[in-house]
Amino acid sequence: MGIGKKHSILRTLDHVAFVFAVACIVIISGFNSEAQEHRNGKIAGPLFLLLSTPNFTIDELIPKGLDALSSGDILAAKRYFAQAESLAGSESSNIVDTTRFFYAYTYILALGYDRLSNNTNDGLNNLGDILDAFGISSSDEVRKDVTAFPIPSPFPSNSPTGAELQSFLKNKTLPELIKAQSVLNKVSNGFGKTWTEPLHQEVVESDYGDVLFFKAALNGALSSIHAQMAYNLNCDLDTKANTKSSIQQFLARETTFLTLAGSPATHLAQSKGYATAALNDLQSAIVWIEAETDDQGDDYVSLADLEPQEIVQAKLDIADAKKALN
């Protein structure tokens, strides 16, 4: 299964591990674009436009959101689709489905895209704050390119601990994923939209197969978060990085690391539930896409780059993973 004509996924990821990895990859990667600007004034144009024109209709907001998305301005696109979704109510139409699909899509991407520095020590509220805390250069040019982050040496002595990063996932990331999931679940199976994706500026088509694919990704991410919440992952990360201690030395120092924490049974049960849902959604996505009769060459999520035996093997791997969860 691939995303876009130039993106192959199942060729490079294990068919089962893919479900749980894809959402994290999306979240931490984002897109590299010169169009990206930051909050606190630098994106005042789009934000002011939204706040000062409350009479925009859904029909007007969708193209504005798609234009922002195709230019790589993910945060502006997120705001447009959030405003459009707030107007959708209980209506059911392809316009509303389009709003809801891209609301969820941009909410996922925005988690990894809000990585510029606001030069304010106000806690870990987004990825930019985490990069600040680990001493990554606050230069906008550095932050725009995730492949060029200079790893600080040494790490700041007050770098976030494992517990603080867990808290970020629980209090900041988890609610956004749940919000995106609740909206994506409302998209009907008649959804279809042609749009320009930002990475390669390709015109692609999204349909219900994409909805099922991203539902699988969201459920996989939620499963992973709940799984790690069952364990104590608190540790002194900067000491580990700066002393270059061995695993044995690290575990001898961090004696509670990987012990059960909080309500492990509850979190592990939730993780299992989300994992099962992810596998079911991925299976449904494959079946849905296989049944499509139109040209698959421009589909955003496609099986076109897979050999028939690879699709069969993916289904078998999903079945095995579901058995392993029971």
- Residue 207, SS3 per DSSP: strand
Distance CA 117, CA 39 (A): 9
- Average pLDDT on 242-266 reads 93
pLDDT score at 114: 87
Is a pLDDT exceeding 80 seen at residue 137?
Answer: yes
Average pLDDT over residues 80-84: 97
> 314-320, long-range: CB within 8 Å, 24+ apart, which pairs?
314/1, 314/10, 314/15, 314/286, 315/283, 315/286, 317/14, 317/15, 317/16, 318/15, 318/16, 318/279, 318/282, 318/283, 320/16
Residue 94: pLDDT band (50, 70, 90) is very high
Residue 219 has pLDDT above 80, yes or no: yes
Q: What is the mean pLDDT of the chain?
A: 85
The answer, yes or no, to whether residue 24 has pLDDT greater than 80, is no
Record the tokens describing residue 241, joined without a space: 């990085």
- 32 — pLDDT class (breaks 50, 70, 90): very low
Q: Token digits for 301?
A: 């999520």
Condensed to tens digits (0 to 9), the pLDDT of residues 185-207 reads 999 999 999 999 988 899 999 99
Lowest mean pLDDT among 109-123, 151-165, 195-209, 274-288: 109-123
- Least confident among 39-53, 86-100, 231-245, 285-299: 39-53
Which pLDDT score, from 0 to 100, does residue 97 have?
98
CB 100 within 8 A of CB 186: yes
pLDDT at 290: 95
- Residue 3: predicted pLDDT: 55
Q: What does the pLDDT average to over 281-308? A: 93
Q: Give residue 183's domain range.
A: 2-325
- pLDDT value at 251 more than 50: yes
Residue 167 amino acid letter? S
- pLDDT at position 116 is 87
Element housing 319 (H / E): helix 308-325
Closest CA to 1 of 319, 322, 221, 315: 315
Report the pLDDT value the prediction gives residue 57, as an integer from 0 to 100.
Answer: 94
Q: Say which residue, 11 or 70, is predicted with more confidence.
A: 70
pLDDT of 29 over the 60 cut:
no
Q: Is it the case that residue 160 has pLDDT exceeding 60?
A: yes
Q: What contacts 24+ positions apart, CB below 8 Å, involve 98-102?
A: 98/62, 98/191, 98/193, 99/58, 99/61, 99/62, 100/183, 100/184, 100/186, 100/187, 101/184, 101/187, 101/191, 101/193, 101/206, 101/210, 101/211, 102/62, 102/65, 102/66, 102/69, 102/77, 102/193, 102/195
CA dihedral 223, 225, 229, 231 (to 10 degrees): 80
What is the spatial distance between Cα 231 and Cα 171, in angstroms, rounded to a whole number?
Answer: 16
pLDDT for 38-78, tens place per residue?
333 333 344 444 444 467 999 999 999 999 999 999 999 99
- The number of folded domains in the chain is 1
Q: Residue 273 burial by CB count (10 A; 0-12/13-18/19+): exposed, middle or buried?
A: middle
Percent of the chain predicted with pLDDT > 70:
83
Q: Supply 277's token pair.
A: 């849902």
260: helix, coil or strand? strand
Which burial class, exposed, middle or buried, applies to 326 when counting CB atoms under 10 A from its CB (0-12, 13-18, 19+)?
A: exposed
Under a CB-based contact definition with an 8 Å cutoff, are residues 243 and 316 in contact?
Answer: no
Per the model's pLDDT, the better-predicted residue between 146 and 118 turns out to be 118
Return the pLDDT at 75.
92
